[in-house]
Amino acid sequence: MNQPNSTQYTWAGRFSEPMSDLVKRYTASVDFDKRMWRQDIRGSLAHARMLAKQAIISAEDLADIQRGMAQIVSEIEAGTFEWSLDLEDVHLNIEKHLTALVGDAGKRLHTGRSRNDQVATDIRLYLRDSIDDIQVMLKQFQSALLDLAEREAATPMPGFTHLQVAQPITFGHHLLAWFEMTKRDAERFADVRKRTNRLPLGAAALAGTTYPIDREFVAAELGFEGVCENSLDAVSDRDFAIEFCAAAALLMMHFSRMSEELVLWMNPRFGFVKIADRFCTGSSIMPQKKNPDVPELARGKTGRVYGHLTALLTLMKCQPLAYNKDNQEDKEPLFDAVDTVTDTLRIFADMIPGITARPDNMRDALRQGFATATDLADYLTRKGLPFRDAHEAVGLAVRRAEELGVDLPQLSLTELQTFSPLIGEDIFGVLTVEGSLAARNHIGGTAPEQVRAAIERARGRLSGG
């Protein structure tokens, strides 16, 4: 009878024939999960320290394990570690090499744990590290955004609804809306981190272990805030990965909205901004082209992250308790979502300082859309006219200005007074862009004074103040 090599497969004793090469390739995950090697070693060392503390393994075994793991770290960092498809995943690759280096101590490392709780621990450690990196990059992006907003705090531009000119705002105020979006993103990632930061190790395969382990000790060693309190749930839960992808999808949606505006603003029909050449590409046939490839690609990558969220939800929707091999499919979507978010944050933090406003074009656009019409309605309301009547009067004034091909401030006082006798000479100060901006002088308003105050508050939040 053809017997499998029991030194190759940890579970080979149960089987009467070796795994086929096709199955081996289909079930292996080492090509993508080896990125978790640092987390795997970190978790294994904490587990080993606990086993020694509880006298489950000897101090000598612990020393050997620590020595062997240090050697493995050196080999992986040097690029000399040999990853084997035959060993399925990052966990078995490291364990087998450890055993080759230190002998029986390496075989004792897996006492009291299973690959089920081991992989659940590794992926939580990996995601926690990734969230911490993302939070740092979010702050870098936000800081660059605040610098640009401060520079453009008083630069007038049209605010839009339905992509039609609505009211005057400042470019700095518009940029602060982007800041608010990413502030919520940071809060969501912090919230996801809390639920990620629970230790599954100790749940073993699904029912716990008969050894006298100390899970709280391992949790403290690894910086977890607590332990997963049900062994079945501990090994099968992937809510934290789904939550991360949901937060990532929202963040990418925000960056896609920013990207759409940058693409529009670069179009000569708007001409509101210039983006530094290093973030753009040209055309192979049209010499004049300067294409905003970075924002365009960010829009496209947003759909990619949406897909990962859907994939993980679908992956989990029919799984009975506890662990199933299906869960191997959680890593590639999660890893790619992490990569896509971090790459996008990194390049946008670099790109924001390369954005230059074109204030003359912004002001020209304000002259084309009757942007101060609401200010005229508010003026009449303050004079005692009910707002609905004021709204109607201003609508008639806009229609007349449109017929004449002029903006509201270009109508004569006499012409304006035909729509309401309440209009006086002071109206022209109200109808200026600067007057409109200055009038919105409250928290959340677009007055330059309020924009600068909002920037100061935002900087305080970023610095932890």
**What's the maximum distance between 2 C-alpha atoms anywhere in the chain?**
107
Check whether residue 107 and residue 128 sit in a common domain: no
The number of residues in the chain equals 465
Domain at 80, CATH number: 1.10.275.10
3-state SS assignment for residue 69: helix
Q: Residue holding tokens 């009757």?
A: 370
pLDDT of residue 13: 63
Other CB atoms within 10 Å distance of the CB of residue 68: 21
Same domain, yes or no: 297 and 175: yes
Cα 363 to chain centroid distance, Å, stands at 34
Say what the pTM is: 0.93
For the segment 35-56, what is each residue's pLDDT rounded down to a tens digit? 999 999 999 999 999 999 999 9
Question: Is 12 inside any structural domain?
Answer: no
Residue range 328-363, pLDDT digits in tens:
999 999 999 999 999 999 999 999 999 999 999 999
pLDDT for 4 equals 43
Question: What pLDDT shows up at residue 5?
Answer: 47
Q: Which of 356, 379, 400 is the last residue of a domain?
A: 356
Question: What span, in angstroms and rounded, lies between the C-alpha atoms of 101 and 110?
Answer: 16
Identify whether 315 is part of a domain: yes
> Is residue 260 located within the same domain as residue 129?
yes
Domain residues for 346?
116-145+164-204+225-356
DSSP state of 160: E
Say which CATH number the domain at 233 has. 1.20.200.10
Q: Tell me the catalytic residues.
A: 162, 283
User: Does residue 105 sit in the same domain as residue 191?
Assistant: no
- CATH code of the domain containing 451: 1.10.40.30
Residue 235 lies in a domain: yes
Q: Cα(280)–Cα(414) distance, rounded to whole angstroms?
A: 51
Residue type, 322: A
pLDDT at 27: 82
pLDDT in tens, 234-284: 999 999 999 999 999 999 999 999 999 999 999 999 999 999 999 999 999
- Mark the ranges of the chain whose per-residue pLDDT is less than 70: 1-16, 465
Same domain, 310 and 380: no
- Number of structural domains the chain divides into: 3
